[in-house]
Chains A and B, each alone.
Chain A
Amino acid sequence: MDKLKIRNRLAKDKALLWTVCLLATLTAVPLFAILGEVFIRGYNQLSWSFFTEPTPTAYRVMKAIEAGTPIPGGIANGIIGTMLMLGMAVIFAIPIGILCGVFLAENAKNRYAQIVSYLTDLLQGTPSVIIGIVTYIWVVVPMKGYSAIAGSIALFIMMLPLIIRSTEETLKILPSSLKEAGLALGGNRARVMLKVQIPAAFGGIFTGVLLAISRVIGETAPLMFTALGCSFVRFSIDKPISAVPLLIWEFFNDPYLQELIWGASLFLLLFVLILNLTAKYLAKKWNQ
């Protein structure tokens, strides 16, 4: 009787272990399913011209369909647009984010800092579509038009809380002896921060920036209401501009351009995953 009960309990114990292993492994399946599908359907579209040519015009598409040749064109306009907007967003988000992070790390108990910290959480949790709406109201409407500036402001707002948090957290785990030693040597707080603490925290902050970029680079909804999209390569910041995720959305909605979806998705997916893996690798390396 007792033996039977023990066997029963051990069977349950094994069953849980196997269930956990099975379900945990199943969770990994979507990653490989998505990677596989995007790769298989997209890799033969990747060619030199895919990266150098903009979205095909309706006329070129029609001709290709008539001739039975593959859809021409590529995503050059999207790549340029993404880089331009991301670049502008990063230039502002890095210094402001780091300064805010430093402030939060140095004044943890201060009432104002707690409010800023709470607002950072609030902004981080705000759905990106809301950021799109608000940027539309504050930037697109007054400027009387969609623009790269509007798009980059939306990206800036989304990146900011991520950079603030990673800076703050990295600075907080630095040994306080580092700061004290710097101050003891007669440096003032600004100098110690700039010459001692920030360099020591560089790894963590850099990782945070990479992750922030990988987070926002695939954002689509906020760009729909701000950058809008544009079918040719353009460098002006006050005009509508395209971006890679915007192109994917366009291709998705245009029955003639669906062939291009997978190449664009593969490019975006690889970019994001490589950024993620690099960040993870660097974080591990710097932690040692």
Chain B
Amino acid sequence: MESVKPILEFKKTCVSYTKQTMAVKYVSAAIERNTITAIMGPSGCGKSTLLRAVNLMHNLYPNIRVDGEILLNNENILSMEPIDVRRRVGMVFQRPAPFPTMSIYDNVLSGYTLNGIRLSRNQKEETVEHCLQSVALWDEVKDVLNKKGTFLSGGQQQRLCIARALAMKPDVLLMDEPTSALDPIATAHIEELMQDLQKEVTILIVTHNMGQAMRISSKSMFMYLGELVEYGNTKDLFSNPKDERTKAYLTGKMG
């Protein structure tokens, strides 16, 4: 019974920027542990907004309201401390942004430094090596760990940012169009990586690239105008969409 329990559950989740406009409308869905779930939809459909609700990013901006419930391991995160939630829910952004004043080594450990957690030298080296291994960056950078993270290529920077998020051992990893700023080779690299990562972490990825969703995800959501239109197994959703709007989007007649 315990294994079937979802790790993350949206219950009538709403996000509104102003009183009149709701960017995300009553989304309800359960995300299973150690899966990759893709969120698709035309631009402006609220997919990024929904994603950013999961690590309480909206709390940074006083005008944005989040209503309903979002359960992480059965606990409503909306009533939890943001800094606690964010440690358990990692995030990777659209544009790779390693901290420019830190070395590659320090970038991986930046979550600990930022949170004021002290690690022993051994713990540090283990974490850095393990995280860089899991993003397949270790072999490329192991001799230049003291160089600034900004010296790396775009794809390497993004993998460094993933490593930085993984270092905090999150339960869920949110990825907001993580490959949209990267070239095809770097994109392929990261997609491959995600397949391996799902053993460690549950991934929720926003993408506007249908091919990507099909390649990497086991579950897919389709959102339109703030509503969750369809949610199911990726294969089913692509081969046999139930809603007209999903069909229109998948056949390129929308967005």
A contacts, CB < 8 Å to B: 5-6, 9-10
Contacts of A9 in B (CB 8 A): 83, 115-116
- 9 residue pairs of the A-B complex, CB under 8 angstroms, read A5-B116, A6-B81, A6-B83, A6-B84, A9-B83, A9-B115, A9-B116, A10-B81, A10-B83
Question: For residue A12, which residue of chain B has the nearest CB?
Answer: B116
Question: For residue A2, which residue of chain B has the nearest CB?
Answer: B84
Interface residues of B in 69-108 (CB under 8 A from A): 81, 83-84
Contacts of A5 in B (CB 8 A): 116
**Cα-based distance from A10 to B84 in the complex (angstroms):** 11
B contacts, CB < 8 Å to A: 81, 83-84, 115-116
Question: For residue B116, which residue of chain A has the nearest CB?
Answer: A9
Question: For residue B84, which residue of chain A has the nearest CB?
Answer: A6
**Cα-based distance from A6 to B84 in the complex (angstroms):** 8
Contacts of B116 in A (CB 8 A): 5, 9
Distance (Å) between the CB of A31 and the closest chain B CB?
A: 28
4 nearest A-B pairs in the assembled complex, by CB-CB distance: A6-B84, A6-B81, A9-B116, A6-B83
Distance (Å) between the CB of A7 and the closest chain B CB?
A: 9
Distance (Å) between the CB of A79 and the closest chain B CB?
A: 49
Report whether over half of chain A's contact residues are helix, strand or loop; otherwise say mixed.
helix
Contacts of A10 in B (CB 8 A): 81, 83
Contacts of B115 in A (CB 8 A): 9
Contacts of B84 in A (CB 8 A): 6
Contacts of A6 in B (CB 8 A): 81, 83-84
**Cα-based distance from A288 to B48 in the complex (angstroms):** 32
Distance (Å) between the CB of A43 and the closest chain B CB?
A: 42
**Cα-based distance from A183 to B74 in the complex (angstroms):** 68
Question: For residue A8, which residue of chain B has the nearest CB?
Answer: B116
Distance (Å) between the CB of A259 and the closest chain B CB?
A: 52
Distance (Å) between the CB of B55 and the closest chain A CB?
A: 16
**Cα-based distance from A9 to B81 in the complex (angstroms):** 11
Contacts of B83 in A (CB 8 A): 6, 9-10
Distance (Å) between the CB of A24 and the closest chain B CB?
A: 19
**Cα-based distance from A6 to B116 in the complex (angstroms):** 10
**Cα-based distance from A158 to B97 in the complex (angstroms):** 45
Distance (Å) between the CB of B169 and the closest chain A CB?
A: 14
Question: For residue B81, which residue of chain A has the nearest CB?
Answer: A6
Distance (Å) between the CB of B116 and the closest chain A CB?
A: 6
Q: A9-B83, A10-B83 are in contact. List 6 more A-B contacts (CB 8 A).
A: A5-B116, A6-B81, A6-B83, A6-B84, A9-B115, A9-B116
Contacts of B81 in A (CB 8 A): 6, 10
**Cα-based distance from A9 to B84 in the complex (angstroms):** 11
**Cα-based distance from A9 to B116 in the complex (angstroms):** 9
**Cα-based distance from A17 to B5 in the complex (angstroms):** 40
**Cα-based distance from A10 to B115 in the complex (angstroms):** 11
Distance (Å) between the CB of A168 and the closest chain B CB?
A: 31
**Cα-based distance from A204 to B198 in the complex (angstroms):** 57
**Cα-based distance from A63 to B74 in the complex (angstroms):** 91
Question: For residue B115, which residue of chain A has the nearest CB?
Answer: A9
Distance (Å) between the CB of A212 and the closest chain B CB?
A: 38
**Cα-based distance from A252 to B253 in the complex (angstroms):** 81
Distance (Å) between the CB of B86 and the closest chain A CB?
A: 11
**Cα-based distance from A5 to B116 in the complex (angstroms):** 9
**Cα-based distance from A10 to B80 in the complex (angstroms):** 13
**Cα-based distance from A188 to B116 in the complex (angstroms):** 64
**Cα-based distance from A9 to B83 in the complex (angstroms):** 9
Distance (Å) between the CB of A205 and the closest chain B CB?
A: 37
Question: For residue B82, which residue of chain A has the nearest CB?
Answer: A10
Distance (Å) between the CB of A71 and the closest chain B CB?
A: 56
**Cα-based distance from A10 to B83 in the complex (angstroms):** 9
Distance (Å) between the CB of B154 and the closest chain A CB?
A: 31
**Cα-based distance from A68 to B116 in the complex (angstroms):** 71
Distance (Å) between the CB of A5 and the closest chain B CB?
A: 8
Distance (Å) between the CB of B113 and the closest chain A CB?
A: 13
Distance (Å) between the CB of A6 and the closest chain B CB?
A: 6
Distance (Å) between the CB of B110 and the closest chain A CB?
A: 16
Distance (Å) between the CB of B18 and the closest chain A CB?
A: 23
**Cα-based distance from A9 to B114 in the complex (angstroms):** 11
**Cα-based distance from A240 to B176 in the complex (angstroms):** 72
**Cα-based distance from A6 to B81 in the complex (angstroms):** 9
